[in-house]
Chains A and B, each alone.
Chain A
Amino acid sequence: MNAVVHAKAESRHLLSGNEAVARAAWEAGVRVAAAYPGTPATEILENIALYPDIYSEWSVNEKVAVEVAIGAALAGSRALAAMKHVGMNVASDAFMTQSLAGVVGGLVIVVADDVGLSSSQNEQDSRYWGRFGHMPVLEPADSQEAYEMVKQAFALSEQYEVPVIVRMTTRVCHVKAMVTVAGQRTEHAAAGFQKNPQRWVMTPANAKPRLPVMHQRERQLQAMSEASDLNFSVTSSDRRIGFVTAGPAFMHVRETFPNAPVLKLGFSCPPPLEKIRAFAGQVDTLVVVEETEPLLETEIRAAGLEVRGKDILPRWGELAPSVLRPAIKPLLGEPYQVPTRPQSTVFPRPPTMCASCPHLGPYFALSHIRNLNIVGDIGCYTLGAGHPWNALDTCTCMGASLSMAHGMDKGRGASDEKKSIVAVIGDSTFLHMGMQGLLNMIYNRGNVTVLLLDNRSVGMTGGQENPGTGQNLHGLPTPRVDFAKLAEALGVRPERIRMVDPYELPTMVKLVREETKMNEPSIIITNRPCSLTDRFERFRPYEVIDDQCTGCGNCIDLGCPAISVSRRETVTAKSGKSKELVFARIDANTCTGCHMCVETCAPEAIVQQPQANTIRIHPHA
Chain B
Amino acid sequence: MLDGITNILVVGIGGQGVMTAAEMLARTALNQGYDVKKTEVAGMAQRGGVVSSHVRFGPRIYSPQIDPGEADLLIGFEAAEALRWLPYLRPTGVAMVNTLRLAPPVVSVGLYDYPADPIGELAQAGIEVHAFDAGAIATELGNAKLVNTIMLGAISDYLPFSAAVLRDCIIEGFRAYKPKLAEINAQAFDTGREAGHVQTSS
Chain B residues within an 8 Å CB radius of A387: 105-106, 109, 111
In contact, B41 and A383 (Cβ under 8 angstroms): no
In contact, B63 and A177 (Cβ under 8 angstroms): no
Within 8 Å by CB of B109, from A12, A174, A565, lies A565
Given A255-B62, A388-B109, A344–B84 Cβ distance below 8 Å? yes
**Complex-state Cα separation, A565 to B114, whole angstroms:** 13
1/0 contact string of A539-574 vs chain B (CB within 8 Å): 000000000000000001001010111001000000
| Interface residue? A614 (CB, 8 A) | no
Given A176-B37, A178-B35, A341-B69, A388–B105 Cβ distance below 8 Å? yes
**Complex-state Cα separation, A413 to B163, whole angstroms:** 68
Chain A residues within an 8 Å CB radius of B201: none
Stretch at the interface among A122-130, A193-201, A345-353: A345-353
| Interface residue? A252 (CB, 8 A) | yes
**Complex-state Cα separation, A1 to B108, whole angstroms:** 42
Chain B residues within an 8 Å CB radius of A351: 14, 44-45, 47-49
In contact, A320 and B67 (Cβ under 8 angstroms): yes
Stretch at the interface among B23-31, B151-159, B189-197: B23-31
Instruction: Give the residues from 10 to 48 in chain B that come closer than 8 angstroms, CB to CB, to chain A.
Output: 13-14, 23, 26-27, 30, 35-48
Chain A residues within an 8 Å CB radius of B103: 564
Chain A residues within an 8 Å CB radius of B87: 341-344
| Interface residue? B113 (CB, 8 A) | yes
In contact, A349 and B69 (Cβ under 8 angstroms): no
1/0 contact string of A451-468 vs chain B (CB within 8 Å): 000000000101000000
| Interface residue? A354 (CB, 8 A) | yes
Interface contacts (Cβ under 8 Å), in number, total 144
Number of chain A residues close to chain B: CB under 8 A = 56
| Interface residue? A205 (CB, 8 A) | no
| Interface residue? B80 (CB, 8 A) | yes
| Interface residue? B187 (CB, 8 A) | no
| Interface residue? A581 (CB, 8 A) | no
Chain B residues within an 8 Å CB radius of A254: 62-63
Within 8 Å by CB of B105, from A174, A248, A346, A561, lies A561
Within 8 Å by CB of A39, from B36, B43, B67, B118, lies B43
**Complex-state Cα separation, A170 to B167, whole angstroms:** 31
Within 8 Å by CB of B83, from A12, A346, A460, lies A346
Given A344-B87, A564-B108, A175–B64 Cβ distance below 8 Å? yes
Instruction: Give the residues from 41 to 97 in chain B that come closer than 8 angstroms, CB to CB, to chain A.
Output: 41-50, 61-65, 67-69, 80-81, 83-87
Chain A residues within an 8 Å CB radius of B44: 119, 351, 460
How big is chain B's contact interface, by range?
A: 35 or more
In contact, A354 and B65 (Cβ under 8 angstroms): no
**Complex-state Cα separation, A39 to B42, whole angstroms:** 10
Chain B residues within an 8 Å CB radius of A320: 63, 65, 67
Closest to B88 in A: A341
In contact, B109 and A556 (Cβ under 8 angstroms): yes
Given A12-B30, A175-B38, A344-B84, A350–B106 Cβ distance below 8 Å? yes
Instruction: Give the residues from 565 to 613 in chain A that come closer than 8 angstroms, CB to CB, to chain B.
Output: 565, 568, 582, 589
Instruction: Give the residues from 310 to 359 in chain A that come closer than 8 angstroms, CB to CB, to chain B.
Output: 318, 320-322, 339, 341-344, 346-354
| Interface residue? B107 (CB, 8 A) | yes
| Interface residue? B4 (CB, 8 A) | no
In contact, B47 and A353 (Cβ under 8 angstroms): yes
**Complex-state Cα separation, A58 to B69, whole angstroms:** 42
Question: 5 nearest interchain CB pairs?
Answer: A119-B43, A351-B47, A347-B112, A351-B49, A255-B63
Some 29 contacts from A to B, beta carbons below 8 A apart, are A14-B38, A118-B41, A118-B43, A119-B44, A171-B65, A174-B41, A175-B39, A175-B64, A176-B26, A176-B37, A177-B38, A252-B63, A321-B63, A321-B65, A339-B69, A341-B69, A343-B87, A346-B80, A346-B83, A347-B106, A347-B111, A349-B49, A349-B81, A352-B47, A387-B105, A387-B109, A556-B109, A561-B48, A565-B109
